[in-house]
Amino acid sequence: MNTNNQTTSTDMGIISQKSLFAYMLAISLIVLASYWGAIPNGFHFDDYPNFVDVQDMHLSSLDWDQFKMGLEAARIPERVLPNATFIIDWWRGGGNSKAFQQTNILIHILNSILLFLFIIKILTLKQQPGSSTEKQALAYLAFAFSLLWALHPIQLQGVTYVVQRMASMVSLFMLLSTLSYVYARTTTAWHNRFIWLVTSLFFGFLAFHTKENSWILPLLLLAAEYGVVRHSKQLFRWWFDRYIWLFSGLTFLYIILDIFIINGPLSVRFGSSGYINRDFNMNERLLTQARVIWFHLSQLAFPLPSRFSLEHNFPVSSNLTTPLTTLPAVLGIAAWSLAGFTLLLRKQLRLYGFLLLAPLILLIPESTVVALEIIFEHRFYLPSMIIFTLCAVIAWQLVLQHNLRILLLVILSLPVGAVLAYATIQRIPDWRTPISLGQANVKAASDSARAWFNLGHAYREAGIRESALENYATAYKLATNDREVLERLAQEYANYSYYGNALKIVVRINQINVRAPLPRHLIWQKEWADSCDNHLLAAQATEALKNKYPWINTDQITLTTPPKDTALVCETTLLDK
């Protein structure tokens, strides 16, 4: 058995070009077949502000000046590459969602093939195969685990939710950059090293123009250097290695001190301003994310279709003991990190250290201090690629130790792949329309006020008034102190001219925000109270506006179109059911 870990500039010599092409074609066809049913799926939620409602991104011809104008008009213009694909898809499909779904599926296929190549490289670095049987086993393991990743239902959100191509695209470029860097550092020919290094920088450049997650790429490459490139070599090879580790440690220490102790600029940036419109603070989010990560791991292990949803209504951790799973989750993440660092320091085990630490590194941008939503499955898109690579390495080690045959690998992997494909195919129709997605969300998170509101809004957009109002009433009962849902409910009832319901809700919002009520909420209260001849609530809003926002002229606050039937529009029976 060949135990030499040195590799050439390409490891594809392990697999014949014919076999390599056959594997990649098989991956493409199987993924395409599994996701074929997603092509008719429509637009949802963040699709609208990002490109559907941005008229400058709707080109009838690919004129450069108009194309540039479309890029500048994008909601987040810094994300140049995904915005460019949105413009092109709108142009080639005339606004039909099918064109967007086709592109998303293509990106997912490319990621699946890339993971196949990445696993081949990692397995070869772990231990090059000697016999033809081992080579066949290595190729099949890379094929099987890349396909299992691609078919897993946790990826569905990143594939069929059009706007989340930002996540799949940045994953593609970051993994390409990492793989190119590993090739650059493991090849012996200097000209090949230079080419691969430039390639790595190029894909890193593309990643930086795709999504902000890419700022973590330098740390990922640093981990790849010590964990992958130096897997079987001395950890500190150069005089500056210790300074890199020292600088990294001091930077990490400063970040902890800044955010949690001295209230420095990072604390102000992420801990104060970012959480103004959230119902949780930074500490609560950090505690909750430990549980979220373990929840996603449980989804990977137990991929029942009912466990996946756009809405989870995940309870926030208020402290280490509420809920009770918080402390074990935090300790589990700490143990995970410690195990990764411990293995990274041990020769011949550094590869495992990298594969343990890389998912946590990749989760830093969206699963730590930034004031984003608590949970979205697409955030696990790239981290799960590394997790499946780790599983492939463990399987490769078992193959070498026990001389497992490829037939056994096929027998073991086929049922798993079939189950994953079935779970994904079962969930694809949930994303067909806003109503079907809303129905799936309330089924998965029946206690989520936002899920019921979104379903009601979907019915309203479809012109199904009674169903919309029924779901709004349910959302109101569940909202409690959810200011975001309550505000949107108030606006929806006002749009229906049910000012009594809208007034009742906005009064509740102002009670929640009693110390710092927002001007628009007080203005709404005065408008709707005046329209319903509720002089007491109108006077309260007027007084609060004068005290807190004296520059607002309360005499000019009136409804643009006063109601014709005051008795009808001012009743609150819809909320009292």
Span 559-572, pLDDT tens digits: 555 555 555 678 77
Instruction: Return the closest-CA partner of residue 167 out of 378, 370, 363.
Output: 378
Q: Does residue 422 sit in the same domain as residue 339?
A: yes
For residue 259, being part of any structural domain is answered with no
Residues 20-31, mean pLDDT to the nearest whole number:
97
User: How far, CA to CA in Å, does 493 sit from each of 183, 285, 286, 499, 500?
Assistant: 59, 31, 35, 7, 9
Q: Is pLDDT above 80 for 576? A: no
For residue 200, being part of any structural domain is answered with yes
DSSP state of 495: H
**Residues 136-176: pLDDT tens digits?**
999 999 999 999 999 999 999 999 999 999 999 999 999 99
Q: Does residue 452 sit in the same domain as residue 421?
A: no
314-323, 396-405, 486-495: segment of lowest average pLDDT: 396-405
Q: Does residue 71 sit in the same domain as residue 161?
A: yes
The SS3 assignment for 168 reads helix
Grade residue 1 by pLDDT with cuts at 50, 70 and 90: very low
Q: Does residue 332 sit in the same domain as residue 213?
A: yes
Q: Does residue 332 sit in the same domain as residue 467?
A: no
The verdict on whether omega for the bond into residue 323 sits within 30 degrees of 0, i.e. cis, is: yes
For residue 241, being part of any structural domain is answered with no
For residue 229, being part of any structural domain is answered with yes
Taking the C-alpha atoms of residue 75 and residue 96, their distance in angstroms, rounded to an integer, is: 20
Which CATH number goes with the domain that contains 463?
1.25.40.10
Taking the C-alpha atoms of residue 307 and residue 325, their distance in angstroms, rounded to an integer, is: 18
Q: Does residue 513 sit in the same domain as residue 479?
A: yes
For residue 370, being part of any structural domain is answered with yes
Stronger pLDDT, 414 or 516, i.e. the higher one: 414
Taking the C-alpha atoms of residue 41 and residue 97, their distance in angstroms, rounded to an integer, is: 7
Which two tokens mark 159? 């594939």
For residue 223, being part of any structural domain is answered with yes
For residue 273, being part of any structural domain is answered with no
Taking the C-alpha atoms of residue 202 and residue 179, their distance in angstroms, rounded to an integer, is: 12
What is the predicted pLDDT for the residue at 564? 52
Which two tokens mark 513? 């925000």
CB 501 within 8 A of CB 493: yes
Grade residue 5 by pLDDT with cuts at 50, 70 and 90: very low
The SS3 assignment for 319 reads strand
**Residues 487-530: pLDDT tens digits?**
999 999 998 889 899 999 999 999 988 777 788 899 999 989 98
Of 367, 392, 427, the last residue of a domain is: 427
Q: Does residue 305 sit in the same domain as residue 366?
A: yes
545 lies in which domain range? 447-576
**What residue spans of 445-556 are helical by DSSP H?**
449-461, 465-479, 483-495, 499-512, 519-531, 535-548
**Residues 219-237: pLDDT tens digits?**
999 999 999 999 988 888 8
Of 427, 459, 487, the last residue of a domain is: 427
Stronger pLDDT, 15 or 34, i.e. the higher one: 34
Share of the chain above pLDDT 70, in %: 94
What is the predicted pLDDT for the residue at 567? 54
Grade residue 320 by pLDDT with cuts at 50, 70 and 90: very high
Of 397, 427, 457, the last residue of a domain is: 427
Q: Does residue 487 sit in the same domain as residue 391?
A: no
Q: Does residue 403 sit in the same domain as residue 526?
A: no
User: How many domains would you assign to the chain?
Assistant: 2
Taking the C-alpha atoms of residue 330 and residue 313, their distance in angstroms, rounded to an integer, is: 20
Q: Does residue 416 sit in the same domain as residue 469?
A: no
The Cα angle at residue 141 between residues 140 and 143, in degrees rounded to 5 = 60
Q: Is pLDDT above 90 for 76? A: yes
The Cα angle at residue 316 between residues 313 and 319, in degrees rounded to 5 = 165
Q: Does residue 202 sit in the same domain as residue 344?
A: yes
Buried b (16+ CB within 10 A) or exposed e, 95-124: eebebbbbbbbbbbbbbbbbbbbbbbbbbb
Residues 37-49, mean pLDDT to the nearest whole number:
97
For residue 262, being part of any structural domain is answered with no
Q: Does residue 516 sit in the same domain as residue 419?
A: no
